[in-house]
Amino acid sequence: MSRSPQAVAEHYKKRALDDVILAALKAAGKDIEHLTPDDLAPVDEFHSGGRNTTVRLAQLAQINGSERVLDVGCGIGGPSRFLASKFGCQVTGLDFTAEFVALAAMLAQRTRLADKVTYRQGDALDLPFADASFDIVWSQNAAMNIADRDRLYGEMRRVLVPGGRLALQEIAAGPGGEPFYPAPWADDKSISFLSTPHATRAALERIGFRVIAWQDTTQEALEQQMARTKALESASLPPLGLHILIGEAFPTVTKNMLRNLQEQRLKLFNAVLQRA
């Protein structure tokens, strides 16, 4: 999966996030006993573009309420809860970081979505599900820590029904050289395994996927990152935001991401593919 799966888990493991997030929700004026997915969106959509990107990818994938969805690399569960609440589908979230899985389950209870979403700790390279278990496999910004892309995409294909769809949001290697670290997915390059968009598409097609849609979202991500960096420089941080997940390195990570995008060290894309 990487230099060590545990090294990846340690990167994402932070202090007692459940207490920190609940305190931040209270500070933001939310009723923590009656939360909605929208209340949590500033902190639980831990990927480029936040909720807006999740909405766009869901539209691209044409999700409907009768489908079974697997979210690989679900984090603390923002997209899975959004999909369940918006479309009524059954969603299973899987993440290697046990703390994220426990927090995702707690937030599902507090948003009254526990009957629609379930979470499991597990390895994306050895998915703990039977063949053809899901109609859609969903994954946002999860592959950057995984070196063996063929095995990852092979497992995603295995658990899809014939004709099932794979919905991806990915950060990829750009032509500008090695990215600056720390970044949201890695403190250094030892647990970072970026692939170019071209190589990623080739791997997916080789494994047995057919491209339905492929959208380069790099320019949009750059504009969002410029706005985020400007806001960071001009105002104090709000109670609720991704700085809770990233921690003390948040200002540096934010500036590095802007530079990485400006210098074309990173490319971003959304894609929907079908199991051939």
Q: Does pLDDT of 15 surpass 60?
A: no
pLDDT level of residue 239 (50, 70, 90 thresholds): confident
For 129-265, strand residue ranges (E) read 134-140, 160-173, 209-216
Tell me phi and psi for residue 191, to 5 degrees: -120, 25
What CATH number should be reported for the domain holding residue 102?
A: 3.40.50.150
pLDDT in tens, 154-199: 999 999 999 999 999 999 999 999 999 999 999 999 999 999 999 9
pLDDT level of residue 14 (50, 70, 90 thresholds): low
Give the pLDDT of residue 229: 86
pTM of the full structure: 0.92
Strands 68-72 and 134-140: parallel
pLDDT in tens, 249-262: 999 999 999 999 99
> Does residue 120 contact residue 78 with C-beta atoms inside 8 Å?
no
Q: At what angle do helices 17-27 and 98-110 cross, to 10 degrees?
A: 40
CA quadruple 14, 9, 184, 269: dihedral sign: negative
Q: What is the mean pLDDT of residues 61-72?
A: 97
Q: Does pLDDT of 23 surpass 60?
A: yes
Give the pLDDT of residue 185: 94
pLDDT level of residue 237 (50, 70, 90 thresholds): confident
Work out how many domains the chain is built from and give that number.
1
What is the residue range of 205's domain?
A: 5-122+131-275
pLDDT level of residue 231 (50, 70, 90 thresholds): confident
